[in-house]
Structure 1
């Protein structure tokens, strides 16, 4: 009955007006921001590079990645040059372009040596460049970044529900956005790989709460019959956020600049203190009917609706679960219907998560048009 009372009062205060539009736009912005945690697929992606050949090239930054003569100096595998090996030279010293040593006759193809200078296929800067994460023995450092990101999200999920229920959805939303913004900007100034890895973990440990808090606030603000459409809008804006990540990576010459472009707007969350009210249903679950009535009065006022005092007084009816029904987690899993729904939803969520993140991560690997492929995914 309690939930019906809230829907009835919300309907009288205005189903959809200026108030709902303002709050929902703020929640869409928060959802958009939450998708920026996927930035690691660009900042820590594996890239193509090969050995710099000083005998035949002026500078690593002015050289072509795969010139016609390269096969005489670098071993190839699957039509791609080796990343960290080149053929040895019969000359004891290495000369520059224009010297007679730039000749295949001086190359010993039965000898390979490891190089310490590289030519990159593309000019954008990733952590591979800045932190010298090259060659097969260092690839684990790139892989572990994704692992830390997912681990941070798992840590976030472990406390999201408790913080949301105790301190409120609005508090969780604002804190998660602010902390993620600050950590994301600090990550752009990382002096070394280990600092970057720590900030990556902390970023998702905070930002992983943002989508959940925005989603719950939106669903509790909307009438039950409008929640499907609201959920659809939030899902679409999250996907659009990942497109913005790709655009920022495309037009940014460096991963540091990309992170600053993405995370600086996160300070807009400070305005949410005044722009977003606390969840009406959460206030009622805490028996805070006084504050709940203020929220309803604000909704009616902004929507230019008149609401009778008797309608507001309906909020005095405590909302929540039926006292005769399950009241705790273990009581809930003993309920057959709730348990089956929990298992079904968990399985569906896991499948969708693997599919979505798998396609997203794979979209930036093994393609010369990685940004276009990322947008399509």
Structure 2
């Protein structure tokens, strides 16, 4: 029997596969928490220059009248708040003449020490190492290095998993992830923190990727789209776990440790999750694969033939060089549109999520709303991808979400502080749109690329997406560089313009829903330009299921 025929006989998503799939969905709970933990551990609370030590100035809001007087007299006020990076050059405070400030006869100088508002955070990595003012870009660098680590992890562990197996790659990544995350909580300096950020990004991605593949490779073809989307809900579950932990642990190092501890029990899953049978067969280890598959058959209560495998049980697909996707102007245009959409979706998703710490209002409420709209975005894909089409979801999500972000310029220019909720709301609409697109783009891309280029095409898209996520932290922090009316809206405007452009370009792509997908380069060139048959004309009929429509992953 061919491998896919074996899966159909076993039941494409039987009880055994559901049990394994659930176990492989547990790692994304911790992956989501780790990936966006920077929102809290790299948060920048309100801060100002600190008075000399004799004033015991240890609280952002002075606790006695004397300190209050000198703070009000020596710290400039910008836009109704104490300046964050400058103080008046008053020399010795014992001879300070407040009239010099009133008359404007005094210059400003940069702070050497700061005091932070601890109302929301007891400490963050930023406050512990004073990564503010002239060092404000260090926060963006830290987030960029995490995203760079994600790219390295996907490349290195993708190759490693093909060599040593998905299960071994999973446990190696899991152990290294625990070590790096726990070590990060004790980072003695910025350099060590940066290095560990790369490691956490790499191993976090490797854990997610390995678990994702292990879960999907036992699932039949017609159920892979469903399984590929459901795992995103576990990712969102991890964000809610992060929300609870961040609310309970207000010191950055405590939060890092608290987020790392749930990873430890995942080691137990190593003994319950089998190695990928597809990988075992590809390596010629058919006896091991057969043992697992017969266990699946026993649990699913089906019978397998005595002779399970043919000589070529894995259907060998003709592979071509990846540059064949650029062999015609049409394929070049479609490929470039997909690359651009992947980069923009990744950039906007991570950018809007990281930007939550820059929005006005309570960060815990903002993060809760953000998680809810992300959940709704994935629900929309699950509900409508098979009804209105992949292209419709992608285009509408990008254009509507992007337009909402661009509209944030109006409350920024014409509103006041009481209208911050409008900017926040527009940001959440943008997050809703990009979340739906995030869940849709993988499926849409896999269907657009021909079979001979599907794996390499989607893999290249994923790598390009990492570059978008590496840019995202710098755009999110644009407002820190350009103070004033556009401080909150500027990142949203940039994200919005890119989203709208990507969504409009996606209109040039053909719809793939209910259509026979291209297998060869020639079929890919003709796809969307000539009439194609609906998949509904091709059915799988056996003793277990009747009239089941085939859906390619």
Using the size of structure 2 for normalisation, the TM-score is 0.59
Asked if the contact 1:64–1:119 (Cα under 8 Å) also holds between the matched residues in 2, the reply is no
For residues 311-351 of structure 1, the C-alpha deviation after alignment (integer angstroms, 9 at most, x for no partner) is x61466421323xx225545677699998886565444323
Structure 2: how far apart are the matches of 1:119 and 1:247? 27
5+ residue gaps, structure 1: 95-100
Stretch deviating more after TM superposition (29-38 or 189-198): 29-38
Which position in structure 2 is the counterpart of 1:189? 186
1:363 matches 2:359: no
* CA-atom RMSD in angstroms: 3.2
Which position in structure 2 is the counterpart of 1:250? 247
1:262 matches 2:271: no
Deviation at 1:308, TM superposition (A): 3.5
5+ residue gaps, structure 2: 371-553
Q: 2:59 aligns with which of 51, 58, 61?
A: 61
Deviation at 1:159, TM superposition (A): 1.8
Which position in structure 2 is the counterpart of 1:320? 315
Which position in structure 1 is the counterpart of 2:295? 298
Which position in structure 2 is the counterpart of 1:376? 369
Structure 1: how far apart are the matches of 2:161 and 2:167? 8
Cα pair distance change 1:330/1:233, threshold 3 Å: same
Q: How many residues align?
A: 361
Asked if the contact 1:174–1:273 (Cα under 8 Å) also holds between the matched residues in 2, the reply is yes
Structure 2: how far apart are the matches of 1:370 and 1:270? 33
Which position in structure 2 is the counterpart of 1:169? 166
Asked if the contact 1:127–1:255 (Cα under 8 Å) also holds between the matched residues in 2, the reply is yes
Cα pair distance change 1:117/1:4, threshold 3 Å: closer
1:76 matches 2:77: yes
Asked if the contact 1:63–1:119 (Cα under 8 Å) also holds between the matched residues in 2, the reply is no
3-state SS of the aligned residue for 1:368? coil
Which position in structure 1 is the counterpart of 2:483? none
- The 5 A counterparts of 1:44-193 are 44-53=42-51, 58-61=56-59, 63=61, 71-89=72-90, 92-93=93-94, 104-105=98-99, 107=101, 109=104, 110-123=106-119, 124=121, 125-134=123-132, 136-193=133-190
Cα pair distance change 1:341/1:228, threshold 3 Å: farther
Structure 2: how far apart are the matches of 1:194 and 1:93? 39
Which position in structure 1 is the counterpart of 2:303? 307
Structure 2: how far apart are the matches of 1:3 and 1:338? 31
Deviation at 1:49, TM superposition (A): 0.4
Which position in structure 2 is the counterpart of 1:4? 4
Q: Which has the higher contact order (CA 8 A, sep 6+)?
A: 1
Structure 1: how far apart are the matches of 2:308 and 2:234? 36
Asked if the contact 1:6–1:315 (Cα under 8 Å) also holds between the matched residues in 2, the reply is no
Structure 1: how far apart are the matches of 2:36 and 2:357? 12
